[in-house]
Structure 1
Amino acid sequence: MRYAFGDVVLDTDRYLLERGGEPQHVQPQVFDVLSHLVANRSRVVPKTELLDTVWGDRFVSDSTLTSRIKAARRVVGDDGIGQTVIKTVHGRGYRWVADVKISAAEPAGGSSAPVAELPKRRLEQRIRFCRTPDGERLAYATVGEGPPLVRAAHWITHLDYEWASPVWQHWMEGLSRHHTLIRYDERGCGLSDHDPYDVSLESFVRDLEAVVDDLGLERFPLMGLSQGGPVAIEYARRHPERVSRLVLVGAFVKGRRARSYTPEHAREFEMQRELIRLGWGRDEHSFRLYFSSVFMPDADPELWTDFAELMRRTASAENALRLFDACLDMDVSEAARSLDVPTLILHARDDLRIPFEQGVALASLIAGSRLVPLDSRNHLLRQDEPAWEHLLTELEAFLAEDESTTGPPAVHEGSTTSEA
């Protein structure tokens, strides 16, 4: 169905929004909000209906819906003052008020037709659980079809909440275009156990071992993003026969405290630790916005808010601090130097979180590796920046060279699993 209003065309069949004849980048949830409101323009749509339709059984706050309404207005040239397209009906919900022209016949009954079906998600994730040798419960998820691509866990994840997050959704969709993406929540985070005894590089590597063993994977490409980089490197050192290819994105050889410890750096570390200790669990998210702005300096502040909320839901302040400290002290110099596996290193030239020099250091240590600079300042690439498509192009070409015959992952019969 094509809905035209003003200089905007909303095409729900092609999942496309054009303004002034030019395609616009629209976050999936914002597109779904627009689609639902315009399809039900004859009535006020309650907030609860929008939440149920767009997010299903995932818990989100009213502020999340408000932020998507704000983004929806902005992309179609509306705002909260004019409300010429989407009107707020206080105490009830929202109503579409702009005149609409339909390029195809509406269902019988015109604008009072039943609720239109929204475009279905291309992907579904399956969440399962396994146990580590020291008894910790880990949650892991598989998404997509094809040969496996394993992503080592990194600082602060939540398999369920990040599934609908505009910070991470395009990562999951992009990485599972031609593969079954396997990712898991780090101990102390998300759906994994929140009271781990051991938080260290050693325990992180054992967690990765537990996940791939539970899936029965024999040989697979392995990705390490940020903190996941050292974990992936150490795993590849211990199990070279199982890692067919290694991909490192915004990764590092040494953590900040391990690579440099001047008085200035010490003050910086302590400042960040205080931000986590004092501000992490508060409903006021101004403390967490510091981390959002460092991870994605070129993102819209709305995206910073989404990331800050995700961080709060993912881990307690205590666990966030323990995991942060573990990252500071990591050093995989010797492990990187010993690797003999095809390796692709992707790193933003102006990364504010992990400096580009760490990507250079990795490339100098890992024999035969290739470094690809990305034109970005963002540690977590946005969907709408050219560097994201550059990353996907390089990644797919690199993985296409993989001669591994490993098939899609499967859970062994008899293993204790639970799906969500």
Structure 2
Amino acid sequence: MRYEFADCVLDIDRHVLLRGGETVSVEPQVFDLLELLAQSPGKLVPREEIIERVWQGRFVSDSTISARIAAARKAVGDDGKTQRIIKTIVRRGLQLAAEVSRDDDAGSGKGEHTQQLRYARGRNGQAIPFTLFGEGLPVLRLGSVVHDLEAEWRLSSEHKRLTDMADRFRLLRYNKDHSASSNSNHEAVYSHRIDEILTVTEAAGFERFSIVGEFGGTFPALHFAAQHPERVNKLVIAGGWAEGRDHRADAQQPDSIRTLIAEGWQTPGGGYALGSTLSYFPDGPLDDVRQMVDEMQSLYSREQKLHYRDIGNSTSALHILPKIECPTLVLHGRHAAVHPLSEARKLAAGIPNASLVVLETGNQIPLPGNAAYDTYLQSLTAFLEAPD
């Protein structure tokens, strides 16, 4: 059940009040008062009914009632003078004066999202495809196993993860400019990524938003949060790393993943290509990983995959971590091997206001069907929806 009025959404099932797309923290009694008023828009709700519903009929002082009414008005952007939303009927009760739309089936359509591509015009004149769907807090997702909106939508595991997120948030994704990734100057690449993010968030109407950075989206997310703290509400880094393989103690060991790509990426359905991707998802599900490999082989040449591997190996974000001001959550698999848990600990230790949740999986990120997937989604959701 969900009530929409003015610029507010009162989501009963999730016990959340949104105003202008942002979560508003309210006390339980204030939420109950708003729910009671929203159920009878335009009608007088008597004082006796308010006491019965909000305080279960217990004796309560006038000052306590007045305080809860004032808090309810503040939460929805109203005040006692204008009373444009919550109106006092003197000596009788309250009335919700705003028009209310009611969605009785708000929960029944979950997962039934349609992806529609839109286009933003970048600074270089290039069209940037992006997609925006879902309702709630604005969230920008960066990074994926495939950097293509349509291919990602076709993947069973990614489709499920995206729709689960869109059931909770207003989710924005975009296709990055692959030509920029060919630049060997990392700072130039991330500067280009920041320009892309500014372009698509402006096109989507996101002024202040949260970012979920996954896989290779880790570094654009970190750089943007460090350079534009005024735009980022919260930051989630899932399956990320602070320093690439070249900076780690095992840098002298052969890069087995690079070898698998070099030897077998061009063989459709081959074991080498599958093995390189299973390194990130040893817990599977295997069918989903096979589907990922099929999509990636159709999108990227062996040279491109090797180049992306080299970029990930050579990148380090340690120098920008102290510059990130927003609350940050790091999610990471305990038994992840490609980017081990020690890298997640570096991220959480280097970012001033960060916390770490360790997931019981060997996958870099748990996929739907993994035992850790629900914990992953619940941790991400609780963090992003928690009051600032």
TM-score range, shorter chain: 0.5 to 0.7
AA in 2 matched with 1:330: T
Aligned match for 2:334, one of 349, 363, 374: 349
Q: Does residue 1:290 correspond to 2:275, yes or no?
A: yes
What RMSD, in angstroms, separates the aligned Cα atoms of the two structures?
2.4
Find the aligned partners of 1:294 and 1:305 in 2 and give their Cα distance: 12
AA in 1 matched with 2:265: W
In the TM superposition, what whole-angstrom CA distance separates every residue of 1:371-396 from its partner, at most 9, and x where no partner exists?
11111111131212231111111111
Aligned to 2:264: 279
**Larger deviation: 231-240 or 294-303?**
294-303
Give the SS at the match of 2:320: helix
Contact map agreement 2:260 2:276 (CA 8 A) in 1: no
In the TM superposition, what whole-angstrom CA distance separates every residue of 1:173-195 from its partner, at most 9, and x where no partner exists?
2211221111122322xxxxx68
Structure 1 residue 291, shift from structure 2 partner: 2.1
Aligned to 2:352: 367
Find the aligned partners of 2:369 and 2:242 in 1 and give their Cα distance: 29
Aligned match for 1:144, one of 134, 140, 148: 134
AA in 2 matched with 1:293: L
AA in 2 matched with 1:375: E
Give the SS at the match of 2:266: coil
Q: Percent identity?
A: 25
Give the SS at the match of 2:312: helix
AA in 1 matched with 2:228: H
Aligned to 1:229: 218
Give the SS at the match of 2:379: helix
Instruction: Describe the shift of the 1:211–1:168 C-alpha distance in structure 2 as closer, same or farther (beyond 3 A).
Output: same
Structure 1 residue 134, shift from structure 2 partner: 4.2
Contact map agreement 1:167 1:306 (CA 8 A) in 2: no
Structure 1 residue 355, shift from structure 2 partner: 0.5
Aligned to 2:122: 132
AA in 2 matched with 1:209: L
Give the SS at the match of 1:227: helix
Matches within 5 A, 1:48-59: none
Find the aligned partners of 2:302 and 2:123 in 1 and give their Cα distance: 26
Find the aligned partners of 2:181 and 2:356 in 1 and give their Cα distance: 35
**Larger deviation: 393-402 or 315-324?**
315-324
Instruction: Describe the shift of the 1:369–1:283 C-alpha distance in structure 2 as closer, same or farther (beyond 3 A).
Output: same
Structure 1 residue 129, shift from structure 2 partner: 2.6
Matches within 5 A, 1:8-407: 122-154=112-144, 156-188=146-178, 198=183, 200=186, 201-202=189-190, 203-260=192-249, 262-264=251-253, 267-268=254-255, 271-402=256-387
Aligned to 1:63: none
AA in 1 matched with 2:120: C
Find the aligned partners of 1:305 and 1:196 in 2 and give their Cα distance: 25
Structure 1 residue 156, shift from structure 2 partner: 3.2
Instruction: Describe the shift of the 1:330–1:309 C-alpha distance in structure 2 as closer, same or farther (beyond 3 A).
Output: same
Contact map agreement 1:143 1:172 (CA 8 A) in 2: no
- Structure having the higher Rg: 2
Contact map agreement 1:155 1:324 (CA 8 A) in 2: no
Aligned to 2:35: none
Instruction: Describe the shift of the 1:167–1:155 C-alpha distance in structure 2 as closer, same or farther (beyond 3 A).
Output: closer
Structure 1 alignment gaps of length 5 or more: 1-118, 189-193, 404-420
Find the aligned partners of 1:300 and 1:392 in 2 and give their Cα distance: 17
Structure 1 residue 314, shift from structure 2 partner: 2.8
Structure 1 residue 309, shift from structure 2 partner: 0.5
